[in-house]
Amino acid sequence: MPIQICQDPAADALLAESDFALLVGMMLDQQYPMEHAFRGPAKLRERMGDFSVEAVAHADPERFAEWASTTPAIHRFPGSMATRMQDLARIVLEQYDGETARIWTEARDAKDLMKRLTALPGFGRQKAQIFVALLAKQRDHRPAGWEAVAGDYALEGHRSVADVVDADSLQKVRDFKKAAKAAARG
C-alpha cells in the first residue's frame, strides 16, 4: 500500500523509500499536525541536499537547527526537534550501524521491540505502538510480536497515522483524535 500520509507525492515517496525518514516523521508527530510532521524529512532533504542517517548525525548542530527552523519549519518546536533528530540519527549510527530497519528486524520478540523503540528519543509506549502498526501496514516486514505491541492501533478503523492511506482517511483519523480529546475532557 503506498504511503500517503503527507498528501505530498515527494514527501510521501521519501517516507516510502527511507526507514529513517519514516522513523523521524513518527518522532515529529506530536503537538503538530501529522501530515506536516511527516513532511519534516522532505523539508530537510530539500534544504540539506541529503537526508541520510549519516548526514543528519554529522551535521553541524547550529546549521541543522537553522535548516529545521527555516520557514516552513519542520515542527512547532524546530530547535528542540532538531536536537532530538540528531540524537536519534546518532543512535541509529552507533547501535544499528546506520541501518534503521535493524531496530525492528532484529528484535527478538515483542518485549525487545518495545524496549528498542521506547529507548529512542521522543518515543513513549503509545508512539512505539502506533509506529509498529504503521510498519505492519506500510512495510513488507512485520516486526516480531507486532500484533501484541501494536494493540488497538493495528485494528481496522481510523485511529492513528497507521491508518492514513489518502486524504479521506487522514480526515477520519483527525476526527477520531478530536472525538477522543473531547471525550477525555469530559
Q: Is residue 132 part of a domain?
A: yes
Residue 1 inside a domain? The answer is no
Residue 4 resides in a domain: no
**Rg (Cα) of the chain, in Å, rounded?**
16
73: DSSP letter: P
Number of domains in the chain: 1
Q: What is the pLDDT along the chain (186 residues), one digit of tens a residue?
A: 577 888 899 999 999 999 999 999 999 999 888 889 999 999 999 999 999 999 999 999 999 999 999 999 999 999 999 999 999 999 999 999 999 999 999 988 888 888 999 999 999 998 998 888 888 777 666 666 666 666 665 556 666 777 677 778 778 878 777 777 778 888
Is 48 inside a domain boundary?
yes
* Residue 133 DSSP class: H
- Let me know how long the chain is: 186
**Residue 3 included in any domain:** no
Q: Is residue 162 part of a domain?
A: yes
Distances (CA, A) of 87 to 59, 79, 104, 111, 120: 11, 13, 18, 23, 9
CATH of the domain at 127: 1.10.340.30
Residue 20 belongs to what domain range?
Answer: 9-185
Q: For 148, list phi and psi in degrees, rounded to 5.
A: -70, -35
Q: Is residue 117 part of a domain?
A: yes
* Residue 45 within a domain: yes
Give the predicted TM-score (pTM) of the model.
Answer: 0.88
Q: What separation in angstroms does the CA of 179 have from each of 32, 101, 110, 122?
A: 17, 33, 30, 24
